[in-house]
Amino acid sequence: MTDNVGMPLLHRLTTRALSLTALSVALLPTVALAQSAAASPPPDPALLTEVVVTAQRRDEARWRVAASLSRLEPGITGVIDRTHAAEALNRIPGVLMQRGSGQESLLAIRSPVLTGAGACGAFLLLEDGMPLRPTGFCNVNQLFEANTSQAAAIEVLRGPGTGPYGANAVHGIVNVLSPDPGDLPGLRLGVTRGADEHLALQFAAAGESTAAYGLWRDEDGFRADSPVREWKANAVHQRRLGAGELRLRAAATQLDQETAGFIRGFDAYRDPVLRESNPNPEAFRDADSARVSGEWLSEPCDGCRDEVRGIVRHSRMAFLQHFLLGKPLERNGQDSIAFGAARARPLGARPIEWRLGVDAEYADTFLLEIQDGPTLEGSAFARAIRPAGRHYDYAVEVTGAALHGSLASTGEAAFQWRLSARLDETRYRYDNRMRDGNTAEDGTPCVPGPCLYSRPADRSDRFTDFTPRLELRHRLGERAMVYLTASDGFRPPEITELYRLQRNQSVADLDSERMSALEAGWRLVGGRYAVSFAAFTQRKRQVILRDANGFNVTGGRTRHAGLEYEFAWQPFERLRFDANGSYARHEYDFDAAIAGGETIVRGRDIDTAPRRLHAWSANWTPHPDWRATLEWRQVGAYFADAGNARRYPGHDVGTLRVAWQASPQWRASLEVENLADTLYADRADFAQGDWRYFPARQRSVFVNVVWQSE
């Protein structure tokens, strides 16, 4: 099936909406018949009691949240993902995480798959509600700093979530939630063995109020010279403190990987030799991180809530930029601290709650880029403007402060509302540790010049952003609701966008990216089924884009519109079906001809933006000790360049999981990835005059054995 690029957007979205609505109406009688035919009584509707925390930093029944919020929990294998976070996140509607080499990745949430320095700034990545990185210093791969495999849950909020969280919650939020001590056994040990010499060891140990867990993974990689070794360790502690509950969390990670680069040539991912090759055996990524966080929560009266939270963060990373001519080495790091406090109270005797909070942050960051020898690739001109030596060497201090508040209706009335707003101020103080300008390190000009790498003089920058949000919801009986939200999201420019310039720049005159979004949704929960739909439209301005050839585009505008659905049906006690997906368009909303790069035309698809993303699964429990899950995912076709001249056809991929509870202490599971042994690309793009791919692993089998105390 192919998409008709010329079909009007509104007509296509309306057609999809009617089709999905018709599907849901058609399914409801089938569900009702299945309910009446089932021998066992219907189970409690899970979504009526399922609790999520990410939407407003507090526990709420998911089905009543006026936002698109999905929650992933450990499945039949006991972990959320086996080898990479993409295994989990790609089950969520509107989300696409493309795997790179090793633990690398690029993310899309109601967006194209974004690349470049600011790509990570469009998504806020949290651990227990607190950002993994400070404002302005994210990394597209930073989710490998969280232990997603052993998390209690991962929650994904689609659309702006700025109100309670601030910067970077533009397209969405990923929140990795740690287990409480009571969620873990006294002792658990596990081992996983699988394809490409994959070996993983997991442990968990818990007492009444304290627990520790972690993992160690080692694999050779399916491509040449691409081994990955990593470990992750976490500790949790919680207790009563005064009138509230104190939760302390600690996390540390270390990654050591030899990176495999793109393979080149049309359909190279189908070639049995090329797909396992590594054109960049010299590439690597080394990274470590550590965080300590705390949160104190108190509910001193009915409808009252006090919270104080803080986090201390450290990270260091070194990697060879094998994707650039000259292959310079980058080293970066940050040490930071963030603090927040909030109070919520009823507004007198009225059924209204007010909430007021403050946040503050300080970070000390640095970046060094250095090239060991002369550039040997590319044209004579390209080699001449890329000299050896230091390209950039700078430090940036980041300070941020925010005030946020909300008013919301309370009680059991069918109609509910919430109005919130946030005011953020972010400041950067930049210190260039090299010569200003775009010469070589020793001041020698490039001939012909100027040199590619440009360094601005010391400076300070300030960004002030105001973001409101309105939520309206109406309950239709006890198990259905409709909602409407209007919200804004923002991100200040990333530090590297401001201070790691190129030869045609002396100053980066950038403002915060901003996005305005409107969303309408409907949910219905029955005895054996749950269904939800959401329609959204988003417009983003002051966009800082990076095209396929690596050129920055500033002052851009994009628009995004789509439909998402989630459906769960349990016709019998031991059988459940789930389906979710999205149909969306992500388009340029401006025209630009980039010097040395591509031409952008209003109305064309943004590159790497599949219009169709779908996932289906069947869960079967033939015996209380046996469970099986069959999962199928579809990634639709997408354009690989801004000019929409070249297109990747998309792919379908399946996964089978089987688990056996041999005894109360022993559990074994089998996982088969890429069940049909499909040849596909995790990522495809067209740049520098050629196709580039990250090929996906073919059929792979993993076996896991776990022992835990009673």
Report how far apart, in Å, the C-alpha atoms of 509 and of each of 118, 273, 395, 495, 555 are: 15, 46, 19, 13, 10
In a domain, residue 2? The reply is: no
In a domain, residue 1? The reply is: no
In a domain, residue 227? The reply is: yes
Give the side-chain half-sphere CA count within 13 A for 406. Answer: 23
- pLDDT score recorded for residue 2: 38
Give the side-chain half-sphere CA count within 13 A for 404. Answer: 27
Per-10-residue mean pLDDT of the chain, 710 residues long, equals 39 41 38 36 54 88 90 92 94 96 95 89 95 94 96 96 90 96 95 97 96 97 96 97 96 97 96 96 97 96 93 97 93 97 93 96 98 92 94 98 96 94 97 94 90 93 96 92 96 93 76 96 91 97 71 82 96 94 96 76 95 97 96 97 94 97 96 97 91 96 94
Q: CATH number, domain at 265? A: 2.40.170.20
In a domain, residue 624? The reply is: yes
Token duo for residue 460: 């300070």
Token duo for residue 127: 């651990």
In a domain, residue 93? The reply is: yes
Q: How far apart are the first and last CA of the chain?
A: 52
Contact 653, 679 (CB under 8 A): no
- pLDDT score recorded for residue 47: 53
Instruction: Of 601, 508, 641, 617, give the one whose Cα is nearest residue 569.
Output: 617
Contact 212, 235 (CB under 8 A): yes
In a domain, residue 228? The reply is: yes
The dihedral through the CA atoms of 482, 486, 492, 496 has a sign that is positive
Instruction: Of 93, 237, 39, give the one whose Cα is nearest residue 568.
Output: 93
- pLDDT score recorded for residue 390: 96
Distance CA 432, CA 584 (A): 42
- pLDDT score recorded for residue 348: 87
In a domain, residue 596? The reply is: yes
Token duo for residue 43: 């189970």
As for how many domains the chain has, the answer is: 1
Distance CA 423, CA 409 (A): 22
Adjacent-strand bridge partners of 394:
367, 432
- Chain centroid, CA 394 distance in Å: 28
Buried b vs exposed e over 456-494: b needs ≥16 C-beta within 10 Å?
Answer: beeeebebebebebebbbebeeebebbbebebbbbbbbb
In a domain, residue 175? The reply is: yes
